[in-house]
Amino acid sequence: MPFELVIPRSTEPILFKTKTYSDDRGYFFESYKNSALTHLGLDDDFVQDNISFSVKDVIRGMHYQLNPMAQSKLVTCIKGEILDVVVDVRKGSPNYGKCQYNTISSDNSYVLYVPEGFAHGFIVKSESALVLYKTNREWSPENESGFVWNDPELNINWGVENPIVSEKDRELTLFKEALNNFSYKEPYSQ
């Protein structure tokens, strides 16, 4: 298998490492292979690719789409390094409002699976970063939601005092006031 599981979780985010083939020319890795993801229990059909370029200390987030257009994502950093943050927004979840931090870079070849029901954001730690993420549903502006990056209740540790944040992201609401139609469902157990 081309993927090595790093953090196993069922309906939670999954961080996995791809095999990287390096030589004096550079490197090659498969950031997406349907059969490998199916082996990990992920059966999403990804329909849209997004690429963002950002400079050091840029925060993008915290975003998600509401049902029925909720998105799962595969996130990888193809140039540079990011600190990726996901927050559980599924009401009733034992992890509701909890943050998960992952460092993803072109050096470590990690890919993060972010399931529906989680807000997503990242900060650029290197001089610049190129981030690729696949989504299982197309962007739907009328279903966008999210909360402000510096929500005092969540106290996300971005590791920088004066980040660069878009006007749109600065105007997002607080976590407890954000539109949210997700509910936690107990994982199936045998």
| DSSP-derived secondary structure letter, 186 | P
The whole-angstrom separation of Cα 89 and Cα 49 is 23
Q: Please, are residues 16 and 6 in contact by the beta-carbon 8 Å criterion?
A: yes
Q: Which residues are catalytic?
A: 63, 133
Q: Please, are residues 62 and 130 in contact by the beta-carbon 8 Å criterion?
A: no
* 183 three-class SS: strand
* 41 three-class SS: coil
Q: Which amino acid is at 136?
A: N
Strand-strand pairing, 144-146 and 58-65: antiparallel
The whole-angstrom separation of Cα 63 and Cα 75 is 14
